[in-house]
Amino acid sequence: MDDFAAANTSASIDGIRVDLRHWIGGERIASARTFADLSPIDEAEIAQVAAGTAAEVDAAVAAARAAFPAWSALPVGERSAILRRVADGIEARIEDLARVETRDNGSLIRSHRRGVMPRVALNLRAFADYAEKQLSHPDMSVRGHRERITYDPAGVVAVITPWNAPLMLATWRIGPALAAGNTVVVKPPEWAPLTASLLADIMHEAGVPAGVFNVVQGTGADAGAPLTAHPDINRLAFTGSVPTAAVIARAAAPNIVPLSFELGGKSPLLVFEDADLALAVDLAVEQFDNAGQVCLKAARMLVHSSIADEFTRRLVERTAGLRQGDPREENTDLSALIARRHFEQVSGFVERALADGARALIGGEPNRELGGLYYRPTVLVDAKPGSEILTEEVFGPVVTVETFQTEDDAVARANDTRFGLAATVVTSDPERAERVSHALHAGTVWVNCFFVRDLEAPFGGTGKSGIGREGGLWSFDFYCDVKNSVFSP
Ligand code: NAD
């Protein structure tokens, strides 16, 4: 493997060169071993990526620690200027990033071009701007004393991310962490590791000093675990599943490291009898985006019984019109699931639901024409109350439709989950919109819209969907040690 690692330091992904080694202390570092990166599009092996272990993690944390004094001492305007150059670099390479991410995790190229990659750049640019605005605080005068509140960068931030939107979710943490003056070690997801490496190139070209930004590739067990247990990290930002979060919380506990967790969901979409039905169906069909592999996805449709037949008929009709196929084609609406293991999990959830009395109005099986990891968009009805399909996160192109009679019933069922990431409400009654949004347990409630995200607003989950909030000042609260200095006259 040593020879292999030495000889295969980069891959060409649709003609774009991607370095497959770690990025530590401003240098490319290989590992003795590599792991295979398969594309969901055709299950082809597209790269052998450096498989990091505790040794590479130690080196990356040490590099980040060494770079911290100088980076944190830079005036915020200078740091922000460098980070804006990173944003420029991302914007200049949107097409490359889009093509590599699409090949790597099977998400739609059109989503990357129009929304995801521009948002990646914004994650850097917006927090560079906020840092200049928000990290300075006017002094307060309290009972004759002057109080100064400062946001001191915490130190070394560990970032661990999932595969479903890897670069967007990583930069959502990296942007504020770096803008606040921290240094960063990222462990990208092993099922979609490639765009993090391109980000390292862009950081380097934009003038981010060596050691400020580091990437250690590898599996959760071999590279993620030593990073989370490392005694020299100061913050741990994790996006992923609840079971992994529980393991990570235990690993980080002895070091008393503050955690920010963005986890799974089982979000509801509530459609009231006064809803604009066309809008409700539009929002419902959106839930098949990224083949349903979206944390915020509304998996449970709760529909008033008086309109349920019409809603379901239109949803099934629209779902039948979705074009499933190669995500590199602009007119594809829905692609493949990320990996064989995940495909089997999603299939298993649906098979058990069907065996338990649920009915598939459409889908309910793999797409046998396309084969591979393509699973048909699926609408299930008649699922048993409390059954697995209504309570567990499936993370695939599967939605359930249930009916309700009253507003109280709708809210109670929406809240009957251990998650609480998001909820969507469709109603034309403004008073109901206020009442229901107030009563729902969720980090984000959308009324007559979905996926509207403002980087200055707080984002996070209630219940098992996470710990903490990020966005705007909430991000800096997490990535900084907030200090109050009291001056006596
Ligand atoms: P996962 O928990 O399996 O893995 C996430 C990351 O953790 C990967 O990089 C993995 O290598 C790493 N990891 C695994 N075991 C580890 C360990 N012991 N120590 C340290 N790191 C370890 O999640 P996934 O399957 O990649 O992602 C899907 C999940 O992420 C879903 O539950 C989804 O809802 C959630 N998610 C949440 C948000 C959000 O913002 N709330 C966004 C996207 C995805």
Q: How far is CA 372 from CA 40, 350, 367, 468, 484, in A?
A: 8, 17, 8, 38, 57
pLDDT at residue 458 is higher than 90 = yes
Distance CA 420, CA 459 (A): 12
203-208: average pLDDT = 98
**Phi, psi for residue 455 in degrees, rounded to 5:** -70, -10
| Type of residue at 246 | A
Q: What per-residue confidence (pLDDT) applies to 276? A: 98
Q: How far is the CA of 256 from the centre of ligand 1 (A)?
A: 21
Distance CA 53, CA 217 (A): 9
Structural tokens at position 382: 């008649």
Distance CA 151, CA 147 (A): 13
Structural tokens at position 148: 């100064």
Q: What per-residue confidence (pLDDT) applies to 143? A: 87
pLDDT at residue 454 is higher than 50 = yes
- Residue of minimum CA distance from atom 37 in ligand 1: 263
- Mean pLDDT is lowest, of 132-141, 207-216, 283-292, 300-309, for 132-141
SS3 for the chain is: CHHHHHHCCEEEECCEEEECCEEECCEEECCCCEEEEECCCCCCEEEEEECCCHHHHHHHHHHHHHHHHHHHHCCHHHHHHHHHHHHHHHHHCHHHHHHHHHHHHCCCHHHHHHHHHHHHHHHHHHHHHHHHHHCCCCCEEECCEEEEEEEEECCEEEEECCCCCHHHHHHHHHHHHHHCCCEEEEECCCCCCHHHHHHHHHHHHHCCCCCCEEECCCCHHHHHHHHHCCCCCCEEEEECCHHHHHHHHHHHHHHCCCEEEECCCCEEEEECCCCCHHHHHHHHHHHHHHHHCCCCCEEEEEEECCCHHHHHHHHHHHHHCCCECCCCCCCCCECCCCCHHHHHHHHHHHHHHHHCCCEEEECCCECCCCCCCCECCEEEECCCCCCHHHHCCCCCCEEEEEEECCHHHHHHHHCCCCCCCEEEEECCCHHHHHHHHHHCCCCEEEECCCCCCCCCCCECCCHHHEECCECHHHHHHHHEEEEEEEECC
> Could you give the ipTM of this predicted complex?
0.97
Q: What per-residue confidence (pLDDT) applies to 348? A: 98
Atom of ligand 1 nearest to the CA of 244: 2
Atom of ligand 1 nearest to the CA of 225: 19
Q: How far is the CA of 461 from the centre of ligand 1 (A)?
A: 15
Query: Which of 211, 204, 169, 210 minimizes the C-alpha distance to 189?
Result: 169
Pick from 163, 171, 239 the residue to mutate for probing ligand 1's pocket: most ligand atoms within 8 Å of its CB.
239
Q: What per-residue confidence (pLDDT) applies to 136? A: 78
Pick from 173, 241, 346 the residue to mutate for probing ligand 1's pocket: most ligand atoms within 8 Å of its CB.
241
Q: How far is the CA of 456 from the centre of ligand 1 (A)?
A: 24
Ligand 1 neighbours, Cβ below 6 Å, are: 160-164, 169, 187, 189-190, 219-221, 224-225, 228, 239-241, 244, 247-248, 262-265, 295, 393, 395, 421, 461, 466
- Residue of minimum CA distance from atom 19 in ligand 1: 225
Dihedral through CA 352, CA 355, CA 361, CA 366, nearest 10? 50
Beta-carbon contacts of 285 under 8 Å, excluding residues fewer than 6 positions away, are: 315, 318, 319, 322
pLDDT digits (tens, 9 = 90+) for 157-182: 999 999 999 999 999 999 999 999 99
Cα within 13 Å of Cα(78), Cβ side = 10
70-81: average pLDDT = 97
Pick from 57, 119, 164, 262 the residue to mutate for probing ligand 1's pocket: most ligand atoms within 8 Å of its CB.
164
Q: How far is the CA of 427 from the centre of ligand 1 (A)?
A: 34
Q: How far is the CA of 263 from the centre of ligand 1 (A)?
A: 7
Q: Residue 135: pLDDT band by 50, 70, 90 thresholds?
A: confident
341-347: average pLDDT = 98
Beta-carbon contacts of 328 under 8 Å, excluding residues fewer than 6 positions away, are: 14, 41, 99, 102, 103, 109
Mean pLDDT over all residues of the chain? 96
What pTM, to 2 d.p., does this model score? 0.97
Distance CA 482, CA 304 (A): 47
For CA atoms 192, 197, 202, 206, give the dihedral sign. Answer: positive
Atom of ligand 1 nearest to the CA of 265: 34
Distance CA 389, CA 352 (A): 8
Q: Kindly list the catalytic residues.
A: 262
Pick from 49, 160, 392 the residue to mutate for probing ligand 1's pocket: most ligand atoms within 8 Å of its CB.
160
| Type of residue at 31 | S
Residue count of the chain: 489
pLDDT at residue 297 is higher than 60 = yes
Q: How far is the CA of 423 from the centre of ligand 1 (A)?
A: 21
pLDDT at residue 341 is higher than 90 = yes
342-362: average pLDDT = 98
Cα within 13 Å of Cα(453), Cβ side = 18
Distance CA 336, CA 43 (A): 10
Q: What per-residue confidence (pLDDT) applies to 137? A: 79
191-220: average pLDDT = 98
Q: What per-residue confidence (pLDDT) applies to 4? A: 41
Q: What per-residue confidence (pLDDT) applies to 1? A: 35
Structural tokens at position 34: 């590599």
pLDDT digits (tens, 9 = 90+) for 42-60: 999 999 999 999 999 999 9
Burial class of 431 by CB neighbour count within 10 A (0 to 12, 13 to 18, 19+): exposed
Query: Which of 394, 383, 395, 388 minimizes the C-alpha distance to 359?
Result: 383
Angle at 158 between CA 157 and CA 164, to 5 degrees: 125
| 8 Å CB contact between 427 and 375 | no
Q: What per-residue confidence (pLDDT) applies to 6? A: 44
- Residue of minimum CA distance from atom 34 in ligand 1: 264
Query: Which of 263, 231, 271 minimizes the C-alpha distance to 247?
Result: 263
Q: How far is the CA of 162 from the centre of ligand 1 (A)?
A: 4
Q: Residue 87: pLDDT band by 50, 70, 90 thresholds?
A: very high
- Residue of minimum CA distance from atom 28 in ligand 1: 240
Q: What per-residue confidence (pLDDT) applies to 5? A: 43
